[in-house]
Amino acid sequence: MTRILLLRHGQSEWNAEGRWQGQSDIALTDLGRRQAFAAAQRLGVVDAIVCSDLRRASDTAQILSEHLGVGPVVVEPLFRERDAGEWSGLTSAQIEQGWPGYLAERRRPERFEPEEHALGRLLQGLDRVASEIGGDEVLVVTHGGLVHALEHHHGLSFERLPNLAGRWVVHHGDRVELGDRLILIDEDLASVPAVI
């Protein structure tokens, strides 16, 4: 059994601008780096740190690693965010203009990565963490879209996931069980738009 904390990265430049990122490789803002440092103050002991290969996640993981003294960080592309397709780089207002009603109806454009595909990647990544990384508790710095896909798969409705918040999961070898959500930073550090 392995407990895994799936943690959303710190604020990125496009989070700050309210732009959908998907798999665009966008850097953290200064606030995002401060968020990661603040989150590190509240994290307990973990045996390993794994992250998405996108910069906003890997930079967050590196800050956490340095503060916690756990490393090296293992980069795993399976934890990469969902591809936002045609919406990458757009604001919600631009999306509403080009795809009226899609956001309210939770519809996605043609090239947006299907949720079941993103979920499959995430589950494969969790299997790798449990079988190859080892340890009782592992931190995985990833993206909101993957956490939402896992929650939806387990019957939960959408709920905003702030930066440096996440969800505990337990990998039992043959199945993944959802644990509690965890918010690691104060609202004054988290008050930024939450977009994929």
Catalytic residue among 9, 143, 148, 171: 9
Structural tokens at position 62: 């590196």
Q: What are the distances in angstroms from CA 51 to CA 7, 43, 143?
A: 9, 16, 10
67 is catalytic: no
3-state secondary structure at position 158: coil
CA 147 to chain centre: 6
Tell me the two tokens of residue 177: 């069980």
Residue with tokens 């939402």: 148
Task: Say how far apart CA 83 and CA 188 lie, in whole Å.
Answer: 29
**How distant, in Å, are the alpha carbons of 14, 31, 141 from that of 28?**
9, 8, 13
Q: Which residue among 76, 81, 113, 151 is the active-site one?
A: 81
Catalytically annotated residues:
9, 81
